[in-house]
Every structure is written in C-alpha cells, then in structure tokens.
Amino acid sequence: MKKIIYPDKAEWADMLRRPALHTETLRDTVKEVLDRVKSEGDRAVIEYEERFDKVKLDALAVTEAEMAEAEKDVPIELKAAIMLAQKNIHAFHAAQRFEGKKVQTVPGVTCWQKAVAIEKVGLYIPGGTAPLFSTVLMLATPAQIAGCKEIVLCTPPDKAGKIHPAILYAAKLAGVNKIFKAGGVQAIGAMAYGTESVPKVYKIFGPGNQYVTAAKQQVSLCDVAIDMPAGPSEVEVLADETANPVFVAADLLSQAEHGVDSQAMLVTTSEKLMEEVEYEVQRQLALLSRWEIAEKSLANSKLILVKDMDEAIALTNEYAPEHLIIETRDYEEQAERIVNAGSVFLGSLSPESAGDYASGTNHTLPTNGYAKAYGGVSLDSFIRKITFQEITREGIEIIGPAIEVMAANEQLSAHKKCRHRQIKSKIKKRDYMKDLKELTRPNIRALKPYSSARDEYSGAEASVFLDANENPYNTPNNRYPDPMQRELKNLIAPVKKVKPENIFLGNGSDEAIDLVYRAFCRPGVDNVVAIDPTYGMYQVCAEVNDVEYRKVLLDENYQFTADRLLAATDDNTKLIFLCSPNNPTGNALDREEMEKTLSAFQGLVVIDEAYSDFSDAPSFLLDLEKHPNLIVFQTFSKAWGCAAIRLGMAFASPEIIAIFSKIKYPYNVNLLTQKEAIAMMHRHYEVERWVKSLLEERARLIDEFIQLPCCEKIYPTDANFFWQK
C-alpha cells in the first residue's frame, strides 16, 4: 500500500483516482456479442458460453431437478446463515415501503403518487472466483417485496455446466422465478433483448467485470434500464488514534480480496495508527487464502495521513467511497458530516462484511465516485412512482390563468387552450334549477302509488273501512293508522310556520334521507355531494342505493365554501347534503355559503337541522318558497325528547312532498308514534323550557372544562354538545 503524508489539496484528484476502467476499448467486442444475441437468441448465448466460459450447454434454463439437487448439496450451517441474512435483508427493505399521501396544492387540485413494481427485472450474478450468493439475496429480496411479477436471474455455470448450489438455494429462498446459465455480455444481452428461453426484462441489476459493465452501459442507452454505473469494489476506513489497527487492517483486506482491481483506503489523523495498520496488513495478508488477489489489489490502495478530522471528512466526501468505515472516538458525530458514501459502518464492531452479508442493508452500492449522485440498491430501485392529479372545477379556475400565461410565453398554443375557459363559460350560463321532472328518476315519475281507502276517503270520520280487512274487535290498536298523518301535520304546521302540504313525516329522519335517494338518484349513474365529516347515514344510504358519494372536507374551522362544494358536482349530481348545526362538529355552517349553494346548484339541497333548536341561527324553513330546490330535515329526537318514537320531519315544496308520499310505505308512521307526537305538540311549550335548561347546562359544563389542565381548546358549538381539545 502506498503511504501519503499530509497531501496538499491540489494533489487530491490524482491521489484519489481509482484503477482505470477502459470500457471504451471493449465497445466493439461488446457490441458484436450484443448484436448476435439480439438477432440469434439462445443459439448465440450457448455459443458464447462455450467460447468464454468453456462449457457446452444443451439448454440455458435451470431445471427443477437441478434446484432440488442444489438444495441437498448446501450444508445445513450455510442454509441457516443464508436464512438469517435473508430475514434481516427482508426486514430492512420491507420498512422502506412507500406510502403515498394526497396533497391539495390549491383548493380543487389534488396530487399524489402511487408506487408500482417494475414488472420484469433481471439479476446478474457473476461467477468469477467466488460464488456471490449474498448478491442474490441483496437483489431478489427487495424485488420480491416490491412485487415484481417476473424475477429473472442469469449467472455463469462452471465447466461442468452447473451453478453453485448456494446461488440456487438463495435464489429459491428469495423468490426468483427463472434462472439461466449465462454469464458475461451474452447474459446482459439475453435479458435486455429476450431470447427463446430468457424473457426480456425492463431493468437489469447486478455487478460484474468490465465487460459486463460495458454491456450494461450499452443496453441502457435505448433498450433497458440498469441499476447504476458500476466499477471495482472499494472501501475507505476513516480512523483516529483510538482505532484498533488489527480491525482496520482486517477491514482493508476484506475489500482487497474481492478482486485485483479493488481498492482499499485508510484516511487517518494518527501517524502511529498508520504505521501499525501497515504492519498488520502485511501480517494478515500472509494468512489469506486469496492472498495473491489481495496483494495485487493493495497495489491500488493507499494509507493517507491528514492533519485533522476536518480535512479527513473533506477528503472522504471528495472520494465518495462505496463502503465507509468510521472508527473514531466520536464516530456518530463524524458520520453526520458525511454526504457522499454508499454505505457507512460505525464503530470498530461494524465490519464491512456485516453489510456484505447479514446486517440487512444492501451491498449493491455505487462505486467509482458515483456515490456523489447515486444511492445503493433499495426497495425504490424496483418500483416506479406514478403521479396522479385530480382537478375540480374550482381548481382549474384557480390555476387555469397561470397555465395559459405560461403556455403562451413558451409559445405552445395547444397547451394554452386550457379547459378552465370552457368551464367558466358554463358556470355563467347556469340555469337556476333543473325541472323537478328532470331531477326525478323516470321510474318514479311513472309510478302509480299504492292507494288505500284512507287516502281516498274525504267524508265524515269513519270508524270502519271495509277494504282494510281489519280485526273487528274494538281494541286501541286494531285499526290501521292515518297514512298521511293529517292531524299531526295540522298541529306541526303552525309551530313550524309552514303549511301542512310542506310536511312529510317519516320513521325517523333516516326514512326521509333514504327517500331522497330513491326518488331522485339513479343507481350506478348519479352522485351526491356532502361535507365531511358529517352525519354518517348520508353515506350509508348512498351505498345502499348504489349512488356515488363525494366528500368535500371542511376546513380547520369546520366550515365550507360554496365554490369548493360546487366544484365537486357535475351533470349527474342530484343532491347536496348540509348538516347545520353539523353532526359531529356541533357548529352552525356559514349561512352565506349555504345561501350561495342553494342559489347556484341546479339540483336539490338537503339541509339537516336536527340540532337547530339549540342554535340562534334562523331555520331555513322560512326560505322554502324562496328556494324550490330546498329540503329541510328536522326531528322529534333531540330537543323534543322523543328519540324512542322514531319520528322525523322533512319540509319541502308541495311537489317534492308529493313525490315522497308517492313512494313511501303506506303506513310508515304507526298509530302509537302519532299519538305520542300529538300529545307532545299540545305541550310544545315544555320544549322551550328543556332547550333553555340544556343550553344553561352546556355553558356551565364548558366553563368547568376550561379549568381542566388537559383542556386546550373549546370549539364553537350550536348543538346540545361541544368538542374540546
């Protein structure tokens, strides 16, 4: 190893130069092989295997019998080691799974990414002087985790036509689909172009000699992607006076024995350590089985003494080593200063061989200084990230002008024809409301409703209806109830300041919610828009009726804008749901925005006022004549204290109410419910007293909560409950 003492910065470029890779001189040879493989397929690969690997093959594919034989030939202790390594590699790479997040760049413009596996990948495993079964694990394991459908492996056989059993065992363990006996340039060509046996892949991974490197570079120009530019393996040890020279020397030699063109570097602030390492390298070298290879590699290697750690860090970042081992007193602090390296090993007990085999990190790393621009193989290497964008009417209106200006200045006139102008013009021409007949489902328009004698009879009160076939005995419940709930509606009307023909009564408000879907939304065709979060039954009924349910998120103050809500609509949007005061947030929605929605939307707007008795905001019942597309829900459950009787109220134009009455079940509100509701209407004054009491208790409870140490914030409420943070 060459010793360099306190080098001047001007010398760094020459000092840090790697063993030269003159792949340009190989170009013609590599091109010839690639061209033949591309045109002749298996025949060319088999011929080149005979010429270069000195083996005569009848077929390229590894058989099931060969796989079974290999598994038997791998020693049990090696199997255990391979399994441990694969488990750790799997754990490390599985933790890298991508989770895309939807981002709203501006209102109405949502962007996100989705990770998709590369469908077909090719792995090249060199034969050379040692079987690199560890590289099989490093490449195939993340490919399997990513979900690559086809994992193809090529590796050169020995002169007997066999592949090392550990390679085959590791391949099977890591999920390789197909294995072929092919090495060198011909293997790269087979995976890049496809042959009769070898499938064409979309990306090639794996190390190799200068011929393999040149072949990967050539096919990457227009035929297939590759993992990264590759060169001889290398290591740098960054050490101070606290480092153990025995460990440092072992780390340097573990890299040197990879190949004759490998490089090992020591950068240290301690002259004493440098001298001790130099001695240890020579002592340990004599004990290596591959000492001849390591010795030649050491001729390319250096021991560098620098003045201080600042210089050592700067030199290291300039070198950008494939492997960097930091053996200093404060190795964690120094590691934070490293910006260019493939893989970093911290402390004296983290040898480079741990990363090569079993710690879990990947050992397929950028060499030759490419760590300045590339990272090592990871799960990301086997996936593509597809971007998506969804733009609503509001979104295109916001960004449309910018698109037009930018396109015009780039002189791209087709790009300038932004869709926002067309949409804008449509909005200006929007009619007030679609005709109710157009909004109603065709089958509902044509429906002949069920009719009973009670519906048709208008004379004096009758005690018996002959068509009802009722029980003849005069018990309290032997007669069917009034299907139109006339008495109850007449009592409700003056309290709510509406006409009886504006009222629909149902089995809870949930019946009315379901009816608007059944009346107006064609399954599988139409959609509704609602704020979110809100009452869950809107979505449940949508799903029951096979109607698309579109959510528009409330802002941080639990409010909405009409523009955002309308931007989510299209020609098939029949309903918009607004709950105010909102369930579950408790606050009243902005009335101005609700008015804008009612005025601009061509379909029906449902305003659920289940909690309106607790709010100072005026009810939208007063606006029924103003907005023919308005439906208001209220209930007997909350302020009226009658949740158990299941009675909900819907208020709308007589035309809409008539549609509800047409399709409801004939006796949807039972007699007992009607009687209890009538009794409540006669003492509705009690409701005002209950509401007043509940509001007083709400205020008192809020005051108590504010005093609690755990209470950070009380959110505004117009309901009989409140939220606290």
Cβ atoms of residues 322 and 234 within 8 Å: yes
Cβ atoms of residues 528 and 509 within 8 Å: no
Q: At what angle do helices 508-520 and 537-544 cross, to 10 degrees?
A: 40
H/E element holding 388? Answer: strand 383-391
Strand pairing of 109-117 and 343-346? Answer: unpaired
Which residues of 511-603 form beta strands (DSSP E)? 527-532, 548-553, 573-579
Residue 331's Cβ-count burial label (10 Å; 0-12, 13-18, 19+) is buried
Token pair 């709308």: residue: 652
Residue 618's Cβ-count burial label (10 Å; 0-12, 13-18, 19+) is exposed
Residues 6+ apart with CB under 8 A from 268: 237, 238, 239, 240, 243, 274, 277, 303, 304, 305, 306, 312
- Residues making up the chain, counted from first to last: 725
Distance CA 601, CA 598 (A): 6
Cβ atoms of residues 257 and 128 within 8 Å: no
Catalytic residue status for 322? yes
SS3 state at 335 = helix
Cβ atoms of residues 155 and 124 within 8 Å: yes
H/E element holding 265? Answer: strand 263-268
Report the greatest alpha carbon distance in the chain.
121
Per annotation, catalytic residue among 257, 280, 322, 394: 322
Token pair 């072929």: residue: 180
Amino acid at 138: M
Per annotation, catalytic residue among 90, 323, 363, 420: 323
Q: At what angle do helices 271-285 and 245-256 cross, to 10 degrees?
A: 50
Catalytic residue status for 420? no
Cβ atoms of residues 298 and 281 within 8 Å: yes
CB atoms within 10 A of CB 622: 12
SS3 state at 13 = helix
Q: Look up residue 476 and give its two tokens.
A: 């309290």
Separation of first and last alpha carbons in the chain: 66
Distance CA 348, CA 367 (A): 23
Cβ atoms of residues 229 and 366 within 8 Å: yes
Distance CA 501, CA 658 (A): 8
Q: Which of 45, 40, 46 is nearest to 58 (CA)?
A: 46
Strand pairing of 573-579 and 548-553? Answer: unpaired
Token pair 């509606």: residue: 489
Residue 156's Cβ-count burial label (10 Å; 0-12, 13-18, 19+) is buried
Cβ atoms of residues 604 and 484 within 8 Å: no
Cβ atoms of residues 270 and 244 within 8 Å: no
What residues are annotated to the active site? 322-323
